[in-house]
Amino acid sequence: MTIDTHDWQVLTSSQGQRLGAEPGAAGSSTSDYWPGVTRKYVHGYSQRETLRLQEQSAILEDLLHHDTSYPPGSRVLEAGCGVGGQTILLAARSPQAEFTSIDVSRESLVVAAATMAQRGVGNVRFYHADVINMPFRAESFDHVFVCFLLEHLDEPLGALAVLRSVLKPGGTITVIEGDHGSCFWHPQTRESLQAWHSLIASQFHLGHDPLIGRKLCPLLTQADFDVREATPRWVYTDSRNPGLRDGVLNKIIVPMTQTARQQALDLGIIDKHTFDTGIDDLRRSGMPPDGTFFYTWFKAVGVKRS
């Protein structure tokens, strides 16, 4: 056994199911962050955000995961698993790999564990832990997987160093991140641009990087990985693919932008009228007949040198 569980909380699927029924366990707007980690997370932990993360992973599954799989028996660490949106896909695509998924939000882990139990997924264990201070021994995982986490960290390079330390030599790290600078739509009004930019500015204000997707190759190189792949995974939608257009815009981009509304207003980055008008305009780029939308996620795979 390579995992030291002493003093660390493990949630099994059945515990998660039980805890998931407790009042406030799911959908609360606050979260019990790991001690010492300040509440600096632009999207928050509302029920709407839980739904967005679950829908997002399903909508983007083929785009992001058509080439994600792990060999039978391999040990995979997923850092920043949230409510398990990616976890469920990883576990289903590699049913004979063993996944260990961590997050600083215990209430998100409860939702994730309950989902795994509901779907009968047995190859995942959840730990309540901070990525920069994990309870795992050096070189105890064959692979590491990270999705939409680095963009929310104060020190992504520091986190990559920690993740590298728990990876065996020759093991891989897969990182998927968005890049909010890659987002274009039509019709693009001044207000819709300002609303979108208020999300970017709010995230930068927290000391985080919403443009990190384009930097994955240099970041992995700086963290001493050999980069095996770094690819853009883009989505373009128009009236010929209304299902995708509705999914990406109304289930991912609009609700994601709305998570920053209060922070952006509090910071004085934007006023209420402009933000709300901008959101309505953004939605219009998902409407027939003229609306179009474009966004790019990035996926990189690095190998730890032997």
Ligand X SMILES: C[S@@+](CC[C@H](N)C(=O)[O-])C[C@H]1O[C@@H](n2cnc3c(N)ncnc32)[C@H](O)[C@@H]1O
Which residues of this chain interact with ligand X, rule CB under 6 A? 37, 41, 43, 53, 57, 79-82, 85-86, 102-105, 108, 130-132, 147-149, 152-153
Q: Which is nearer to ligand X, 171 or 210 (CB)?
A: 210
Query: What is the smallest separation between the CB atom of 108 and ligand X, expressed in angstroms?
Result: 5
Query: What is the smallest separation between the CB atom of 122 and ligand X, expressed in angstroms?
Result: 20
283 to each of 251, 253, 288, how far by Cα in Å?
10, 9, 11
A 10 A CB-CB count for 218 gives: 12
Query: What is the smallest separation between the CB atom of 273 and ligand X, expressed in angstroms?
Result: 28
Q: Which is nearer to ligand X, 54 or 237 (CB)?
A: 54
Query: What is the smallest separation between the CB atom of 55 and ligand X, expressed in angstroms?
Result: 10
Q: Is the peptide bond before 35 cis (omega within 30 degrees of 0)?
A: no
Q: Which is nearer to ligand X, 86 or 274 (CB)?
A: 86
CA 207, CA 202: separation in Å to the nearest integer? 9
CA 249, CA 237: separation in Å to the nearest integer? 9
The residue of the chain with the least Cβ separation from ligand X equals 82
CA 189, CA 119: separation in Å to the nearest integer? 43
Q: Kind of pairing, strands 225-237 and 292-304?
A: antiparallel
Q: Which is nearer to ligand X, 88 or 279 (CB)?
A: 88
How remote is the C-alpha of 207 from its chain's centroid?
17
Q: Which is nearer to ligand X, 178 or 291 (CB)?
A: 178
Query: What is the smallest separation between the CB atom of 153 and ligand X, expressed in angstroms?
Result: 6
CA 297, CA 292: separation in Å to the nearest integer? 17
Handedness of CA 147, 18, 35, 100 (dihedral sign): negative
Q: Which is nearer to ligand X, 82 or 278 (CB)?
A: 82
Token pair, residue 201, equals 């500015």
Query: What is the smallest separation between the CB atom of 133 and ligand X, expressed in angstroms?
Result: 8
